[in-house]
Amino acid sequence: PRQVLAMAEDLRAAVASQTKRLNSSGGVVERLEENGHQNKRLKSDADEEDVEDQNKRSPKRKIVLLMAYSGKGYHGMQRNVGSSQFKTIEDDLVSALVQSGCIPENHGEDMKKMSFQRCARTDKGVSAAGQIVSLKVRLIDDILEKINNHLPSHIRILGLKRVTGGFNSKNKCDARTYSYMLPTFAFAHKDHDVQEEVYRLDKETLEKVNKLLACYKGTHNFHNFTSQKGPRDPSAKRYIMEMYCGEPFVRENIEFAVIKVKGQSFMMHQIRKMIGLVIAIVKGYAAESIIERSWGEEKVDVPKAPGLGLVLERVHFEKYNRRFGNDGLHEPLEWTEEEEKIAVFKEQYIYPTIINTEREEKSMANWLNTLSIHDFNSSAVGMRANNKNSK
């Protein structure tokens, strides 16, 4: 046995020196495994190990990204896996994250693997100036620059912050602020013959608009403002903090105004229907009492304004900021340093898209022509009663 042990030692020493020699020459590495077999590893394996080492050096961390995008031509924010003909903002984002080396390719295919969560699902054609997504990434050098290099110019990552490991941008968000930019001729009374480029909003009409928008403040049952909820669904109740229309301004000879709305959370199409109903009232198609009626259980025909003018302005994390914003480890989720970049992006990509599309495609003007088709007086209950009587 001593002889066998000595021979094994000699063999081990010989292999060790051979391994050392081959390692330094960068050729095939031959190594004696514990079971005595030789295991050949090619240079490409060594390259893969280099990548793994690099990944260990930049471990995955939970972050949030501040995003701005022009939504024209996209079918909303949220990715629809398996339906590639409907392109979304997240399709382009995930592709850029993979190409920049922030996430491995399989995480792009299954977004749960990177704990991905968006703060708000914006609808088809809707833009954002302050969207937030949370996810786990490798914190590579010059991360924002590298991601943006793989994104089209109308989608930008404007900021990044580290957050707590359990952070979820949708659940931790206390409120969302949207704006809706529209040409003011939308508020011209239906009985007046209006030339769109000449129309200017008068003070009395703006006051009426603001009086109606203020009716939405507080908690109401908004089941008539989405197609997804029934009248007794508790999740149809939503809390609106503020809603108002700002002073009008002229761009490209057309007067525009911006409506701002801040609420805890919104359902699909809710804001566009809230604005659509106010336009219908101001234009004289519907009575003011329809707003109160729409919160009741009966079905009310609420028109949906075009998606073009809607912009997700910012999202609010007040509770999170109070708890973690000043704990010495995490930053508060506020973006004062990025405000200028946000303003520049809006002026460069969001406002021109809304203005030019309105001029070329006349989305608001065409939609206004459909208001006369809506039946604002009869409700589902009333229609059933009328049908019984006629029978």
CA distances from 163 to 117, 132, 222, 331, 383 (A): 13, 12, 33, 8, 53
In 3D, which of 282, 287, 307 has the Cα closest to residue 364?
A: 307
Examine the pLDDT at 119 and tell me if it is beyond 60: yes
Q: Is the dihedral of CA 127, 357, 207, 279 positive or negative?
A: negative
Which 3 state secondary structure label does DSSP give 227? coil
Per residue in 220-260, pLDDT (tens digit) is: 999 999 988 889 999 999 999 999 999 999 999 999 999 99
Q: What is the pLDDT of residue 176?
A: 96
Q: What is the pLDDT of residue 383?
A: 44
What does the angle CA 222 – CA 224 – CA 230 come to, to the nearest 5 degrees? Answer: 85
Per residue in 150-199, pLDDT (tens digit) is: 999 999 999 999 998 889 999 999 999 999 999 999 999 999 888 889 99
Q: Say which of 45, 50, 53, 123 is annotated catalytic.
A: 123
Residue 123 is a catalytic residue: yes
Q: In the numeric block, which tokens belong to residue 126? A: 């809707």
Examine the pLDDT at 34 and tell me if it is beyond 80: no
Across the chain, what does the average pLDDT equal?
Answer: 85
* Residue whose structure tokens are 């208001």: 371
Q: In the numeric block, which tokens belong to residue 206? A: 């703006």
For the whole prediction, is pTM greater than 0.75? yes
Q: Which residue ranges make up the annotated binding site for substrate?
A: 178
Which domains are assigned to the chain? 60-172 (3.30.70.580), 175-317+325-374 (3.30.70.660)
Q: How confident is the model at residue 148 (pLDDT cuts 50, 70, 90)?
A: very high
What's the rounded Cα separation, in Å, for the pair 235 and 103? 35
Q: Select the more confidently predicted residue: 106 or 386.
A: 106
CA distances from 69 to 126, 130, 135, 295, 311 (A): 9, 9, 18, 33, 9
Torsion of CA 264, 266, 272, 273, to 10 degrees: -100
Torsion of CA 219, 241, 238, 301, to 10 degrees: 90
In 3D, which of 283, 237, 300 has the Cα closest to residue 291?
A: 300
Q: Which amino acid is at 386?
A: N
